[in-house]
Amino acid sequence: MIIKSGENNNIEELISFSWSHCSSNKTRSFPLFTSKDEIKEKILSRMDDSNNEILGCYEDNKLIGVLLLDVIPNDYYLQTSAFYIEEANDEVGSVFINYIENNYPNYSCFIGLTKENQILTQLLKNNQFELIDDSLMMEINIKDIEPKITANKTIKVGYDELDEYLKFHKEHFESAYWNSVRIKEKFNEWDIFEVKEMDTIKGGTFIKNYKNNSSEIFGIWSEDSSVYDVLVNGMLAYYKFNKSKVEKIIIMVEISETALVEVLKENGFKIENTYCCFKKIIKKKD
């Protein structure tokens, strides 16, 4: 088996292979693509980006695997945006993992899969990747939002209020990639909401907006399920009436967070899939 970088003469082959593996949860990775054009845009956007990689694995000139790597060198951060292998051929996955470990020492590597993708799940576990997120992928279409007609205490955080919110963010989300420093640096890419009682933040959430007319809740926290309800309802009302271009909102929720899952269901979110995230800090080989 050999690995080749994506070039103009094999891009269509990489796109077609990737799309053929998006229809089954047994072979899917995250993010979940919903059209061939979406995959094509993802791959082509990486052609002129020296930090990211488009890789194909070949055996006897036949394509048997595709790997897309999103790399942030300054942060030693690496995540996959596609990891597809021929079903029942875990040797391809091993080739890709070896490539990552040989070329990205000291990086934190993150790989997202559907729960049903058991071949890659087992392969990652065998290679000392740690399962750090076992979640439900939930989603709501903006047109389906029906905000409750109540006096809502949800506040949209502006830049003037950001420093106060970031103290809350640092307390509850600092271990995430999007920590308080990075949120402040990229503030214009986020919508942030909070609920206060007696000038104390009791709940907060931060949401990233994408170019494909979707948004993703990256984090939400409160000690109180009733605050979750106020927070989610207020956030949905804002999107319903102020974000006309956004078509849907998604969130990954830990299966163990039953109270939050129920609040999201009560506010119109539906379970669309499963999500497992694996992490490994790549050690430099001797």
Q: Where are the domains of the chain?
A: 2-127, 139-273
Task: Provide the 3-class DSSP secondary structure of residue 180.
Answer: helix
Residues, the chain:
286
Share of the chain above pLDDT 90, in %: 81
Per residue, the 3-state secondary structure of 66-122, as one string, reads EEEEEEEHHHCEEEEEEEEECCCCHHHHHHHHHHHHHHCCCCEEEEEECCCCHHHHH
Closest to 133 (Cα-Cα) out of 97, 177, 186, 195: 177
Distance CA 143, CA 249 (A): 11
The whole-chain average pLDDT of the chain stands at: 93
Interval 229-270: pLDDT, tens: 999 999 999 999 999 899 999 999 999 999 999 999 999 999
- Entry pTM: 0.88
Per the CB < 8 A criterion, the answer to whether 189 and 209 are in contact is yes
For residue 51, the one-letter residue type is: N
Is the pLDDT at 169 greater than 70, yes or no? yes
Interval 185-234: pLDDT, tens: 999 999 999 999 999 999 999 999 998 899 999 999 999 999 999 999 99
For 97, half-sphere exposure in the C-beta direction (CA atoms, 13 angstrom radius) is 23
User: Which pLDDT value is given to residue 23?
Assistant: 83
For residue 275, the one-letter residue type is: Y
CATH for 139-273 is: 3.40.630.30
Is 2-127 CATH 3.40.630.30? yes
Residue predicted with more confidence, 55 or 212: 55
Per-residue buried b or exposed e for 9-42, using 16+ beta carbons within 10 Å of the residue's own CB: ebbeebbebbbebbeeeebbbbbbbeeeeebbeb
